[in-house]
Structure 1
C-alpha cells in the first residue's frame, strides 16, 4: 500500500480526503500522524500557487507522495473575498467563528439574491522527481444571513446549496461529499491516480 502525506492538520479535510480516496489503495497520513511540524508559508497569490508550495516542499522534505489543497470561499458581492485569505480572513489565528462573523458583517444588508458565492478547491499532487499535477473543483451557492447547522467546518454553516435548501453544515458527510468543491477535486485526482502516482488502484 502506498503511503501518501496530506499536507494538513485540519481534521475535517483529512476526514473528507480519506473518505473519498478510500478505494485508492493508499494509506493516508496527516502531518500529525508523521510528527511533522513544518508550517509552509502560503505566499502565493492563487489557490494553485499555494497548493503547489505546500505539496512540493513537503514531498521533497519527506521523500513521499504528498497531496496539498488550497481552498477558499469567493463571494461575488465582495469582489471575490475572502479568496486565498479564507482561513485567515479575520486574523492569523484562523478562527472559523471570527471569519464567519466578519463575512456576515460585510454582507449585512445585501439581498439574498445578491449573496452568490462559490467554494474553490485546488489539489496539488507532488511525487518526488516528477512534475506536480493539479485537480480543481468548484461548488456554487449562496451565503445565508445567519449560521445554519452543526456539521462541517469553516464556512459550512453559512454556505447554502440552493437546489437542496441546505447549508453544508446541515448536510451529512455522505451528501456533502457528493457535491462539495473538495469532493469534485478529489474525484478528478482519483480518476488520474494511477497515471499520476504510478500506484495501482
Structure 2
C-alpha cells in the first residue's frame, strides 16, 4: 500500500450546508454535530425523524449494503445528501453472527440483556468442546455517505475492532455487547473502560464501541469536505487511515 501524504485541507462541502442523518439516535447526532464543529464545517446535520422520514427496510446482506440502503432512503425522501452507519458484532465461530442482526439477535430489537444471553448460550457448546481456546470476535462499523439518492459513487468506510468473547458479562458501562467484549491487551471488557482509561492509552487501543467510531466519523467528515471530483484520492486516503489507526 502507498504511503502518500494523507494531510487534508478541509473546506466547505460542495453539496450544501445541510445533510440528513439516517438515524434518530441522539448520541450519534450529538457526535456528528461536535465533530463538524471541530472541523469548522458550516454544515447542519438533520436527523431523519425531524423530516418525517421513517426507518428504511434494512434488507441487505451486509453492513455495507444496509448503510448504503439507509443513506439512499434518507436522501431520496429529503432531497439532501445523507450519511448513515451500520454496525454490529461478528463472531467467526458462529458464522459471523450476530452480524447485521446484532440489535435483534434474540428476536426483540434493542434488548441488550436478551441478546447477550443468547450469545452466551450459542457459544456454550463450542466452549465445552474446546474450553481452553479463546473465542474471537470483532465489532464492525460501516459509514456510508451519498451526495444524492442515486449517487453512483457512495463513500464507504469500514472499521474493525478485534477482541474476545467472554462467557459472563463484565463491567457496568457501555451498551450492547460491550460487557462480553474482552480486550486481552488491556485485561478489561469494553464495558469496564472508564473515560480516564480511554484518555490514558494510545490512539490504537483507546476504542470503546462509541470511541473508535468517533475517529472514523471525524476522518470521514474530512474526506467528505474534499471536492466531489476527488473521490478516488479521498478513498485512497481513507484506506490509509483505516490501516494505520483502526484495524489491528
Query: If you compute each CA radius of gyration, which structure gives the higher value, 1 or 2?
Result: 2
User: Normalising by structure 2, what TM-score?
Assistant: 0.69
SS in 2 for 1:99: helix
Aligned Cα root-mean-square deviation (Å):
2.7
SS in 2 for 1:195: coil
Q: What's the CA shift for 1:149?
A: 2.2
> What does residue range 99-138 of structure 1 map to in structure 2 within 5 Å?
99-108=115-124, 110=127, 111=131, 113-128=133-148, 130=151, 131-138=153-160
1:5 aligned to which of 20, 23, 26 = 20
* Match of residue 81 from structure 1: 97
Q: Is the 8 A contact 1:8 1:31 kept in 2?
A: yes
Distance in 2 separating the partners of 1:46 and 1:196: 28
Moved more, 98-107 or 12-21: 12-21
User: Normalising by structure 1, what TM-score?
Assistant: 0.83
Consecutive unaligned residues of structure 2, counting only runs of 5 or more, are 1-11, 230-248
Q: Is the 8 A contact 2:53 2:77 kept in 1?
A: no
Distance in 2 separating the partners of 1:7 and 1:121: 15
Q: Is the 8 A contact 2:51 2:78 kept in 1?
A: no
SS in 1 for 2:107: coil
Consecutive unaligned residues of structure 1, counting only runs of 5 or more, are none
2:45 corresponds to 1:28: yes
* Match of residue 217 from structure 2: 186
Moved more, 43-52 or 92-101: 92-101
2:176 corresponds to 1:160: no
Distance in 2 separating the partners of 1:134 and 1:12: 21
Structure with the larger strand share: 1
SS in 1 for 2:226: helix
Distance in 2 separating the partners of 1:124 and 1:152: 24
Q: How many residues align?
A: 197
* Match of residue 164 from structure 2: 142
Distance in 2 separating the partners of 1:158 and 1:21: 32
Distance in 1 separating the partners of 2:176 and 2:86: 13
* Match of residue 70 from structure 2: 54
Q: Is the 8 A contact 1:137 1:184 kept in 2?
A: no
